Structure 1
Amino acid sequence: MDRLRAMEVFVSVTEQGSFSQAAEHLELSVVMVSRYIRQLEDAMQVELIQRSTRRMHVTEAGRMFYEESKQALDQVRRAYERVESLQQAPSGLLRVSAPMTLGSSLVAPLVAGFLAEHPDVRIDLVLSNSVVDLMAEGFDAAFRIGNLGDVDLVAKGLRPYRMVICAAPGYLDRHGHPAVPADLAGHRLLAHSTWTNRFTWPLLDAGKEYPWPEHWVLKSNDGQALRLAALAGNGILLQPEFLVAEDLREGRLVTLLDDFLPATRPVNLVYLRQRSALPKLDAFIRYILRHAG
């Protein structure tokens, strides 16, 4: 049994709260995750996790083993990082988190360019609209939109996040041009499913805020899916400028309601201060700031 790998699997099961989610997080099968847990329990002759068909519960022994395993894995990670920091050329694995639309449209091309310059670096780019815990989830860096609340993170400001409202010329020929936010009530709209009370993009009119109407014809958590729907003439889109910049230049989409756009928001590349000495992370930070700062 690979004890270190088994400890990593057990820590993931404990933190994720289920075998299936841990398997997805570690890119293993559920059968393999169960095998590692069973091997640990057989080796120590103790039950670490009580499980049934509906739920699982970490035992007292399991909780103790989790705390010790977490510390051991952190120590192993620090050992690797100290050796990596002695290297001249950037190399090794970088784990990076980014929101989905920002990640696919802006971060992914930057990552591709960085890899071309640094062939000895590998990048695990995870796109998710969830805010990750860099330390707990093992990320080296993350791209964040909006004001930051993490006091323990170093933040480097990037170009601000600016939204645009647009539609295909064919749609506007059929349905007309909205002149003020209230006119959107009579239009077919495309909405992003992560727009919640916590993270919305209200339109601004004479100091008042108007939320994006709820009567959408398509809702998706992927900005590219919404962009394709707008290009097909299915409705009016509110998305970041970088996503549709080429479509606007080529005339496939045209902007609307420019005087009522939501306020721009800051974008930051954040990372843990103690990891900035790693050549791979330092090179990544400098590359991002050079191209998107």
Structure 2
Amino acid sequence: MDRLTSMAVFAKVADLGSFTAAAKELRISPTMIGKHIRFLEERLGSQLINRSTRRQSLTELGRSYLDHCKRLLEEAEAGDALVEEAMSAPRGKLRVATSVAFGSYSLAPALVRFMKIYPEVTVDLVLSDKMVDLLEEGLDAAIRVGTLTDSTMMSRALSPYTGVVCAAPSYLAERGTPAHPHDLAGHECLRYPGWSDGQRWTFLGPDGEIHVDVKSRLTMNSTFAIRYAALAGAGIVLMRDELLAGDIAAGRLKVLLPDYRTQSRARQILWPKHRKMTPKLRALIDFVVETYG
């Protein structure tokens, strides 16, 4: 048997916790999984996995050997990627995740340009406002707002997320125009329940940093719904400026508090640290950084 293949099988069994799950993932029989494990154990002269009728667990030697296997497999993947990158143009399918609003309004049109540049690449754009797991969902990359805390991910910085405070003229005619961020406490503010800011909005202005706890009688889990509610005069909205630029230019929404900046948040493109850097993924990362960097 090929030792590198057997190491890959062993690593998969260790990650998934059972021969059956690894067999399903690798699309081979549980019997063949067992042969690969026995091949390694006979070669090493020691047991790597404790087997029982209910579960499998790594021996102490198995845990140490797993670390070496993963490093060797990563180096092999990196070597393959270097050869592929040198010999191959970007081709194949990419799965990319981002938020519903940004993906619909900005990234989808940008990807049309990307696919014209790389005609052999296809893209599956996954739009969700929930935090998706790239590894579990089989995603190649994601564009997210916020600080990276996942050590299994690599990232490159994009331009920060900046918001603008707006309201419809009809709302302002009824409730008045706030002159200072603290005035927002007396207004209806439209809020997305999943935003990390929550009910506290932060501003930077002549008098430094200001935090305001806003009231939200109407919360919606859709950025598009919040925009339409703001256009209908439901309240004041804090949203990414590029999503409201057309409404502002047409006079459907009026920018408020022009002397105060909203707090910007980091934005980045992420991809799994141990995912092979293929030409198609490298092309996507470079394109996104060039477009939004």
The residue aligned with 2:248 is: 248
Shift of 1:200: 5.9
SS in 1 for 2:142: strand
Q: How far apart, CA to CA, are the structure 2 residues paired with 1:143 and 1:136?
A: 16
Point out where structure 1 has 5 or more consecutive residues left out of the alignment: 1-10, 16-35, 44-58, 65-70
- Compared CA separation, residues 120 and 223, structure 1 to 2 (3 A): same
Shift of 1:193: 1.5
Q: How far apart, CA to CA, are the structure 2 residues paired with 1:208 and 1:166?
A: 20
Q: How far apart, CA to CA, are the structure 1 residues paired with 2:106 and 2:86?
A: 31
Q: How far apart, CA to CA, are the structure 2 residues paired with 1:60 and 1:203?
A: 56
What RMSD over aligned residues (CA atoms) do the two structures have, in Å? 4.0
Shift of 1:198: 7.6
Query: Are the counterparts in 1 of residues 92 and 120 from structure 2 also a CA contact under 8 Å?
Result: yes
The residue aligned with 2:137 is: 137
- For 1:163, the aligned partner's letter is G
Q: How big is each residue's C-alpha offset from its partner over 1:26-59, in whole Å with a ceiling of 9 and x where there is no partner?
A: xxxxxxxxxx9xxx9xx9xxxxxxxxxxxxxxx9
Q: How far apart, CA to CA, are the structure 2 residues paired with 1:278 and 1:242?
A: 31
- Compared CA separation, residues 200 and 110, structure 1 to 2 (3 A): farther
Q: How far apart, CA to CA, are the structure 1 residues paired with 2:263 and 2:129?
A: 20
The residue aligned with 1:291 is: 291
1:157 aligns with 2:151: no
Larger radius of gyration: 2
- Compared CA separation, residues 122 and 200, structure 1 to 2 (3 A): farther
- For 1:60, the aligned partner's letter is R
The residue aligned with 2:54 is: 60
- For 2:215, the aligned partner's letter is E
Q: How far apart, CA to CA, are the structure 2 residues paired with 1:108 and 1:256?
A: 29
The residue aligned with 1:109 is: 109
Shift of 1:230: 1.3
Given the two structures, how large is their TM-score scaled by the length of structure 1? Answer: 0.66
Q: How big is each residue's C-alpha offset from its partner over 1:69-90, in whole Å with a ceiling of 9 and x where there is no partner?
A: xx9xx99xx69x8596565221
Q: How far apart, CA to CA, are the structure 2 residues paired with 1:62 and 1:255?
A: 61
Query: Are the counterparts in 2 of residues 195 and 201 from structure 1 also a CA contact under 8 Å?
Result: no
Shift of 1:105: 2.4
- For 2:214, the aligned partner's letter is P
Shift of 1:92: 1.0
Query: Are the counterparts in 1 of residues 168 and 233 from structure 2 also a CA contact under 8 Å?
Result: yes
Query: Are the counterparts in 2 of residues 97 and 142 from structure 1 also a CA contact under 8 Å?
Result: yes
- For 2:54, the aligned partner's letter is E
- Compared CA separation, residues 270 and 233, structure 1 to 2 (3 A): same
Given the two structures, how large is their TM-score scaled by the length of structure 2? Answer: 0.66
SS in 2 for 1:283: helix
Shift of 1:241: 0.9
Query: Are the counterparts in 2 of residues 165 and 261 from structure 1 also a CA contact under 8 Å?
Result: no
- Compared CA separation, residues 115 and 264, structure 1 to 2 (3 A): same
Q: How big is each residue's C-alpha offset from its partner over 1:215-235, in whole Å with a ceiling of 9 and x where there is no partner?
A: 333x11221111111122222
The residue aligned with 1:18 is: none
| Equivalent residues in 2 for 1:50-199, closer than 5 Å | 60-61=54-55, 85=85, 88-196=88-196
- Compared CA separation, residues 130 and 200, structure 1 to 2 (3 A): farther
SS in 2 for 1:286: helix
Q: How far apart, CA to CA, are the structure 1 residues paired with 2:197 and 2:190?
A: 18
Shift of 1:106: 2.4
- For 2:223, the aligned partner's letter is G
Q: How far apart, CA to CA, are the structure 1 residues paired with 2:188 and 2:134?
A: 39
Query: Are the counterparts in 2 of residues 99 and 129 from structure 1 also a CA contact under 8 Å?
Result: yes
Query: Are the counterparts in 2 of residues 275 and 281 from structure 1 also a CA contact under 8 Å?
Result: no
SS in 2 for 1:194: coil
Q: How far apart, CA to CA, are the structure 2 residues paired with 1:254 and 1:60?
A: 64
Shift of 1:179: 1.2
Shift of 1:168: 1.5
Task: Give the number of aligned pairs.
Answer: 240
Q: How far apart, CA to CA, are the structure 1 residues paired with 2:244 and 2:276?
A: 33
Shift of 1:115: 2.0
The residue aligned with 1:268 is: 268
- Compared CA separation, residues 98 and 201, structure 1 to 2 (3 A): farther
- For 1:90, the aligned partner's letter is P
Q: How far apart, CA to CA, are the structure 1 residues paired with 2:289 and 2:191?
A: 31
Shift of 1:123: 1.4
SS in 1 for 2:262: coil
| Equivalent residues in 2 for 1:196-215, closer than 5 Å | 196=196, 201-204=201-204, 206-215=207-216
Shift of 1:284: 1.0
Q: How big is each residue's C-alpha offset from its partner over 1:86-114, in whole Å with a ceiling of 9 and x where there is no partner?
A: 65221111111213333222222222221
